[in-house]
Structure 1
């Protein structure tokens, strides 16, 4: 297990100037990252990667449908829905790479483990009537919280591997890194499918960090509620994702984890954290010129439309093993750069290399995968985010990237 810290970075002096009273002091919450991409023999499982691709496609469509329902506007113009992105795929764990942390809910506060995801908005936990389906998870019981209020509505969330959760919506107090959101909308699940069983999903529930317009609940994320209620010193959160020393900072950035200045790119559509990119190059040659991208901690891979990804790999003679997944000799990972806001960010060979494939110790899978129907839309997941320090700025509707220290 790799450890991850959730920290709150802000100067006490700034608190005094900006706010009439002091916000909670800085504190650190331990988080872990679970990886289930490998089979029992230590090789990477292509089926898990394909399931992750399918799940990401389905997540895009769920968010796009919610956005159109909430705003009356189509979120994507180039996205083409795949027939197999509807949730009818074989039941394969889609929690291949997830960042887990803790959050406190209710009065009195109780601690739960949550999956932190910038590619979704809603927050749900196992409820008291979930029974055997939620066995091993800690249960949120609104009847035991004096601050819980039923909202009289139910919810259903579905994922590309066929997993789903359903239950009832409540408003309750949620504390994240010591910052308290009141009357936060959350789901208490009465059913978890196999994909959310403890075997496949190590967290108790999921906490999204995207915008309200893609919410299936029609509600703000926990962080946006904190911002709206003036509970955080700055309306930003920032990630460092790495094999060690990783952290998620709430209400500021950690200047010790990056060097130089941030390159900011505006959010082009407030739904997902969607931005415009300049180009994608491989071994010094730009292959993709101008694209739209979603910055998503809930996706392990970098994903692009099959047509663009095949062009990237054609330049280095990579082998497609099926379903948009490619392999290369383990010692031949290419030099990939992604240019955002006029700054080129290089991807390390370590982040690109997902590990050995099949019986060979010399063939490895690459962390850039193709998906049918994405058009000019790309998903910048962990394979990219491991190479930069990333700040999500709610107040200014932008995403910033800096070089890791």
Structure 2
């Protein structure tokens, strides 16, 4: 009887969302930028190292915000700081992939509106853009609160710091913010008066976090949660389709043209990050790890895991080797890129395409290709970026605190 009950629970949780008969949601086209300093086909280890440092800093900031907002340390936070060396009312927004790091699309702020290129990040919760009086913001679009009739000065400041040393700081305001025709009123945002070098020359203007409110360092209600509170959308969900072209963020629904079959649902274990249990990892049929925690993060290009389990993964790949002077980075023979690396969630496995796993050849030895799964000492969980998300259609559900995956539709 217990086995039958468990089976029923699994089946219900795996197929709770029926296929919609028509589009419900607002589509946001998104794009990904590529600014590598290396020749095409060659892995940029310098940019990879900088990305890992930024991610460490982002998660350290998120853990601090979680503790400040809840009064308790996040269970996944390391005991010490990690070493730092993109009528039914729903729709899609097109995306781009910046510096092979973040996916960005258009966001309008203020009255009259100013349009910004904004990174959409499921691994953070705050919104910030350059201010009109920013001293180091280069050619970015800028937010002028005096030019917006709906702007309100909150008389508070903010500072966002990243592990690579990049920062953004300034003042907090509230204003109208619109994405794909969906408008949140009285939305809190940061107007940066200072940008460090990496932000100054970044192709996007700012960042919009799509994680839970507990991760807000302002603290404030994130944009999508404001839409939910103000009843601007019919369904409190958003979804991502990531690809070389036609990528999209879909607000308030799913796009049935982008996936096939039913969703496998995974409960969020702690509602700060989009954190879910990772059943196991297989390489060439061999289980290398099991019983892990993971975060689904559009603000990360690669897959990052704890050093021990990443080491075990590469041991299962014939000919793999660690890369000197690049902690946690491994190479594999370019002639035998693995095509059977599988991550299992909710009992269903999802393969990582060799196309996304291969970051390019190693400059020192072109016969070796750099693998996109990176190990970090002291990490207690895995971060699954677009290297994983490009293989699935992903839905983030606030109402039920869960993440859903479906197979990609063939086009």
TM-score by length of 1: 0.88
Cα offsets for 1:249-300 (capped at 9, x unmatched): 1110001111110000011111111111110111101111111001000011
Equivalent position to 2:156, from 153, 161, 171: 153
Q: Secondary structure at the match of 1:396?
A: coil
| 1:371 alignment partner, one of 358, 376, 379 | 376
Instruction: Give the alignment of 1:4-403 within 5 angstroms.
Output: 28-40=27-39, 42-77=41-76, 79-82=78-81, 84-85=83-84, 89=85, 95-131=99-135, 133-198=136-201, 201-316=202-317, 317-321=319-323, 322-334=326-338, 335-375=340-380, 377-403=381-407
Task: Give the C-alpha shift of residue 81 in structure 1.
Answer: 3.4
Shift of 1:78: 6.1
CA distance in 1, matches of 2:38, 2:110: 39
Give a deviation string over 1:313-352, Cα, whole Å, max 9, x none: 1122411102111111123122100000111111111111
Per-residue deviation, 1:76? 2.3
Shift in Å at residue 45 of structure 1? 1.3
Unaligned runs of 5+ in 2: 1-18, 86-97
- The structural deviation recorded for 1:10 is 8.4
Q: Deviations over 1:189-229 (max 9, x none)?
A: 0100001012xx11111111011101111112111110111
Contact 2:29–2:247 (Cα < 8 Å) also in 1: no
C-alpha distance in 2, partners of 1:398/1:150? 35
In structure 1, distance between residues paired with 2:391 and 2:369 = 20
How many equivalent residue pairs?
375
Q: Which residue of 1 aligns with 2:13?
A: none
What residue is the counterpart of 2:6 in the other structure? none
Measure, in 2, the Cα distance between the counterparts of 1:27 and 1:291.
34
Deviation at 1:46, TM superposition (A): 1.1
Equivalent-residue separation in structure 2 for 1:288 and 1:12 (angstroms): 40
How far off its partner does 1:28 sit?
Answer: 4.9
Question: What CA distance in whole angstroms lies between the structure 1 residues aligned with 2:342 and 2:231?
Answer: 38
Separation in structure 2 between the aligned mates of residue 13 and residue 266 of structure 1, nearest angstrom: 25
Cα pair 2:118 2:204 within 8 Å, conserved? yes
Instruction: Answer whether contact 1:352 1:368 (CA < 8 A) is retained.
Output: yes
Structure 2 Cα separation of the partners of residues 262 and 221 of structure 1 = 26
In structure 2, C-alpha distance between the alignment counterparts of 1:123 and 1:77, rounded to whole Å: 24
Contact 2:125-2:209 at 8 Å conserved across structures = yes
Q: 1:36-71: CA deviations, max 9, x gaps?
A: 345146521112112211221121111001100110
Instruction: Find the residue that maps to 1:251 and give its secondary structure.
Output: strand
Sort the Cα spacing of 1:12 and 1:290 in 2 relative to 1 into closer, same or farther, 3 A: closer
Unaligned runs of 5+ in 1: 1-8, 15-25
Rounded Cα–Cα distance in structure 2 between residues aligned with 1:344 and 1:10: 24
Q: Per the alignment, do residues 403 and 141 of structure 1 end up closer, same or farther by CA in structure 2, a change over 3 Å counting?
A: same
